[in-house]
Amino acid sequence: MVPVVGPLLAAAVLLTLPDRLVLRRVVALLATAAVIAVGVVLLVATSDGAVPVLRVGGWPPVVTITLAADPLSALLVTVSAMVVLACLVAAAGTGDDCQRAFLPLTMVLSAGAYGAYLTTDLFNLFVLVEVMLVPSYVLLALSGGPGRAGAGRVYIATSLLGSTILLAGVGLLYGVTGTVGLADLAGTAREVPAAAAAGGVVLLAFALKGALVPLHDWLPRAYPVASPVVVALFSGLLTKVGLYAIIRIYAVLYGGDPAYHPLLVAVALASMVIGVLGAIGVGSMRKVLAFHMVSQIGYVLLGLALFTAASLAAAIFYLAQYVLVKAALFLCAAVVGATRGTDRLSRLGGLAASSPLLALAFGVAALSLAGLPPFGGFLAKFLVLRAANEVGDWLVLTVAVLVSLVTLLSMLKIWGVAFWGEVPRAARERTARPGLALLGPPLALGACALLLGPLGGPLLQVADDAAAGLLEPAGYVRAVSGR
């Protein structure tokens, strides 16, 4: 209950508060910290296989709004809240939150995301995704640089189309099965072909929201226009909700039906390859990172597509560490933007000398993204590869290794130009020193990425639990339906 209502209440309070920036920041930070605390409590509570269920208002299961937390939901709520916290601190550093609407919108957006992770029926999922998306339209329009009108239109049109398709899919599913509760729908797509088709419409909508190839084109167009802090927030929450929904629906509604594995593997591989190739040709940090989002989403989907206990655990581990790493990289871009006034690679250089701490944060996060030991990213990629090896799919194995090589290459490109390159003349006079509020969040998230390598055991345990829950959703179904 707290993850959804807490931030919404905070947003309401923020709207009524007078223009005292410090006070407003404290309210937003406290609300997010409370969500992290609840997330950790949920993680502990779900570690023994229990599924805490909340029926809002105490109504019977058919009519109530049901929230339930299994290890997957609890983990994603915690990780998202950490990203929100980091973004709030960074926004205080860059001055993004001086705009009066920024903090309330962020709170509403995060509430929608947490709710989407916790809800147990598809219609509420639709509503909560909308709660999350509507503030994001405004944030993109508020924070964007030049070209935001065009990018904003692409973004809103795509999201709106996705939401319309999603609602149609939910309607069709209701028409076929007479219910929208995930627990009641468990496994129906394997038995009723019409339900599988209706579920396919829902999955299509989430593939659009999660920016899977061939529906990825909007993401590298729309995201880089917003300010880097906002992009970090979006990357941590928006597309990940789409990905989470795909994982959950495929596991519960379809029961991991092997008939669809080739399709999922093909989409995953296409996302990985096209995303990483797109990143080679673009010239600003945010654009490179946006293309890598598409590519990294492919790895998570690959873990889902193989649908074994090991591969699901790998996918969940990958998702959690990748959200943190990606936010760290975008927040590094925010620091660069705030100190140099641009993140175009052609106008950057010499960052390693002028701010070594930033270089440290970026280096750790970039190497983790590329999947080098001893970082968390290495462990995640290794798990995905090992799962693919167990299945014996050599094509998948080869593509995954090659893509991470190209990822490393494009991270090295940013590093070589922006951090080691010669300082451009234009940058010499307008270099500011980044403050602690700016540098702290990427450093902290980078530290997480580093620690997840050697000390990834607890997260791996959670991922294993979550994978077991997805592979055998009977416990989840029983707890949610109350039978």
36/205 with CB nearer another protein: 205
Give per-residue burial for 210-222: e unless 16+ CB within 10 Å, then b. bbbbebbebbbbb
Could you give the CA distance from residue 411 to residue 364 in angstroms, rounded to a whole number? 11
For the bound state, the minimum distance from the C-beta of residue 147 to another protein, rounded and expressed in Å, comes to 6
* Binding-site member from 50, 145, 164, 409 for another protein (CB under 8 A): 164
Question: Of the candidates 49, 145, 147, 482, which one interacts with another protein according to CB under 8 A?
Answer: 147
> Any contact of residue 260 with another protein (CB under 8 A)?
no
DSSP category for residue 62 = T
- Residue list 356-395, contact with another protein (CB under 8 A): none
The answer to whether 162 contacts another protein (rule: CB under 8 A) is no
Could you tell me the two tokens for 438?
A: 């700016």
Rounded Cα gap, residues 276 and 272, in angstroms: 6
154: tokens are 């692409």
Least distance between another protein and beta carbon 111 (Å): 15
State both tokens at 302: 């690959």
- Which listed residue (1, 153, 373, 386) binds another protein by CB under 8 A? 153
CB of 123 or CB of 260, closer to another protein: 123
Neighbours of 454 (CB within 10 A): 12
3-state DSSP call for residue 73? Answer: helix
In DSSP terms, 54 is beta-bridged to 67
What residues does 121 pair with on adjacent strands? 181
The H-assigned helical ranges of 119-192 are 122-143, 148-177, 182-185, 188-191
Q: Among candidates 190, 415, 428, 391, which has minimal Cα distance to 302?
A: 391
CB of 202 vs another protein, minimal distance in Å: 13
Binder to another protein among 15, 50, 59, 175 (CB under 8 A)? 175
Question: Per DSSP, what are the bridge partners of residue 67?
Answer: 54, 119
Stretch binding another protein (CB under 8 A), from 157-165, 243-251, 292-300, 410-418: 157-165
Cβ closer to another protein: 170 or 273?
Answer: 170
Nearest to 432 by CA among 344, 351, 332: 351
Q: Is 156 in the site for another protein (CB under 8 A)?
A: yes
**Residue closer to another protein (CB basis): 234 or 375:** 234
Can you read off the two tokens belonging to residue 205? 């909508």
For another protein, the closer of residues 87 and 170 by Cβ is 170
Determine the Cα–Cα distance for residues 72 and 70; give it in Å rounded to an integer. Answer: 5
Residue 172 or 186: the one with the smaller Cβ distance to another protein is 172
Pairing of strands 53-55, 66-68: antiparallel
- Compose the 106-145 pattern: x for residues touching another protein by CB under 8 A, - for all others: -----------------x---x--x---x--xx--x----
- C-beta of 162 vs 256, nearer to another protein: 162
Residue 309 found at the interface with another protein (CB under 8 A): no
> Which of residues 69, 76, 132, 172 is near another protein by CB under 8 A?
172
User: Is the Cβ of residue 170 or residue 418 nearer to another protein in the bound state?
Assistant: 170
Q: CB-wise, 141 or 444, nearer to another protein?
A: 141
Distance in Å, CB of 305 to another protein, minimum: 29
Classify 130 in phi/psi space as left (phi over 0), alpha (psi -120 to 50) or beta: alpha
Count CB-CB contacts under 10 A for residue 51: 20
Question: Which residues inside 392-421 make contact with another protein, applying CB under 8 A?
Answer: none
- Residue of the chain from 170, 252, 325, 387 that contacts another protein (CB under 8 A): 170
Q: Which residues bind another protein (CB under 8 A)?
A: 123, 127, 130, 134, 137-138, 141, 147, 149-154, 156-157, 160-161, 163-164, 167-168, 170-172, 174-175
